[in-house]
Amino acid sequence: MDAIQTALRNYNSAAVQLEPPRPTLTWETVVNAVNVADLDILCDTRTDLSTLQWAEPARREGTVLYFGIK
């Protein structure tokens, strides 16, 4: 999680220095963008990811709530 926050800070620092400046991102924006269904790379795997524990809807929702609090 620290790596993601560091990358977010670095992105925001660079975004405002561009010409024209790019929009900055918030932690909430990043967390909301992370959704298992939105990750195209997971669609090309041979393993059925829907059977893994972290793919269970209740666990995913718990993760979203956790990061929302953070």
SS (H, E, C) 17-65: HCCCCCCCCCHHHHHHHCCHHHCHHHHHCCCCHHHCHHHCHHHHHHHHH
**What's the distance, CA 17 to chain centroid?**
23
pLDDT per residue rounded down to tens, the chain (70 residues): 788 889 999 999 999 999 999 999 998 888 777 765 555 655 666 777 778 888 888 988 888 888 888 7
Distance CA 70, CA 68 (A): 5
Q: What is the pTM of this model?
A: 0.49
Q: How many CA atoms lie within 13 A of 29 on its CB side?
A: 7
